Structure 1
């Protein structure tokens, strides 16, 4: 799926490294640089792909996802804001479903910097009665960093709901998640984990005392994906398992085998934005 993103016709050259394209019904930015390549839809400031030069794709994207206005994209890094999960409607908030604007970009030998911005509107105020300015800052170089910066006076829950490309869900492990977690598959009970997380069926957990770095150890791809979390209270890990993968229209029947979510999140402790100080949530992704 990643390769298709970089063969789309260029509609406009925004800079030497950034091109404006169209994927189905959605505007998209393709980033091509000596350090690697990436793709982002303007809907949701949604990272679809990041691939450092010489490496396999790092971000997983469903081959079955529709690219339609107002429809959630399956895969990539959805921005869940101003709420996470079913805390409101639509689920995971409205930020991932609305068009954002490119407000800054720059590039040098070390990589590409890009900022997309979403502001409140009549549409958002019907769903959530607050004035806001939300920035998504991206840096693509040897590493990929994503930072949300929210301005206004309000309280939110949020997540960078990252889907990672893996060789085989049955063979990976995720380290650094910590022990205490909320197991949503088991009805929301609080449990303690011993050692690294491995996967045998549906998994949906909120880790409430995670380390600063999560590590996806992948023996099939012979690599470790490092995810450094900042300003978070939690880390979420999710895989739908075989049964749910088959039932999901926007995922191939075997899609669960090649993806795992490790999400930087503020779920159990909400974040407060004030006029004096914005709230932030960030992740840094690297391949080791």
Structure 2
């Protein structure tokens, strides 16, 4: 992969090209992060108090313009799944603008805007980096009643030795197309794609990396959990599923209105 510095925006913030895609790189006292302007997609976040990345990114990701990036937090909007074309919406394939940033001693704010060709605002994202990470998504297309999923890929040392805790006890299993009763704590050792009714908080116990990842959902209607296991998935190696789990903050059945949808991640 070719990495080229394009512009130094501030001492802590620079813009690079990763092959065809512009990527912001943050190096700050609170930690480091990388955000692709294609999709306003967080692809790396390492808080200052941790060693491992919190989000997972495919080691074979080609960073080709116009192709979905496998990992981080893709923004599935204005639809989820195969409701339209392209799958999971166009927002993750389009360039967003970095419209403002505020770098303080103990916190960093980055603001991104998606516009139409006529410069009409479609959606806004604010990312906040401190000891925790917060993403707030605001939809401006009220008439269309779009859907949203913050399709977060979490990085774990070994998925078979990790637990996902504090899940709801009912879920729609996409693979069987059935509603099921499930335990609140799950260990993933097979292909899983489940849509849960939203609760406020989930926890990933990452045993190998000796950490817990707390996930807070704000104004979500569903939580989606996904791991493809050995099933062939674009831009993912045969072993890629061993170190990731997707826990998604979503608005699928209840469409987006004016109230923002938020995601907060804390690592302990």
Gaps of 5+ in 2: none
Count the aligned residue pairs: 266
Structure 1 residue 190 and structure 2 residue 179: aligned? Answer: yes
Kindly state the Cα deviation for residue 198 of structure 1 after the two structures are TM-superposed: 1.4
Is the aligned partner of 1:173 residue 2:163? yes
Residues 226-280 of structure 1, C-alpha deviation per residue, up to 9 Å, x if partnerless?
A: 11000100111100012x1xx22411110000000011011122223xxxxx241
> Partners in 2 of 1:135 and 1:226 — Cα distance?
24
8 Å Cα contact 1:112-1:141 kept in structure 2: yes
> Residues 82-116 of structure 1, C-alpha deviation per residue, up to 9 Å, x if partnerless?
11111111111000000111111001111210011
The answer on 1:43 being equivalent to 2:38 is yes
Listed as ranges, the matches of 1:14-93 within 5 Å are 14-55=9-50, 56-93=52-89
Distance 1:24 1:194 in 2: 43
Match of 1:266 among 248, 251, 256: 251
What's the CA shift for 1:132? 4.5
Regions of 4+ moved over 3 Å: none
1:152 aligned to 2:132? Answer: no
Q: 1:96 aligns with which of 92, 98, 111?
A: 92
Aligned to 2:193: 204
Q: Deviations over 1:118-139 (max 9, x none)?
A: 01237x9xxxxxx642111101
TM-score between both structures, scaled by the size of structure 1? 0.88
Match of 2:235 in 1: 250
Compute the TM-score of the two structures, normalised by the length of structure 2.
0.95
Measure the CA separation in 2 of the matches of 1:120 and 1:192: 43
Name the SS for the 2:78 alignment partner.
coil
More helix by share: 1
Note if contact 2:139-2:256 (Cα within 8 Å) is conserved in structure 1: no
User: Residues 10 and 111 (structure 1 numbering): CA distance in 2 closer, same or farther, change over 3 Å?
Assistant: farther
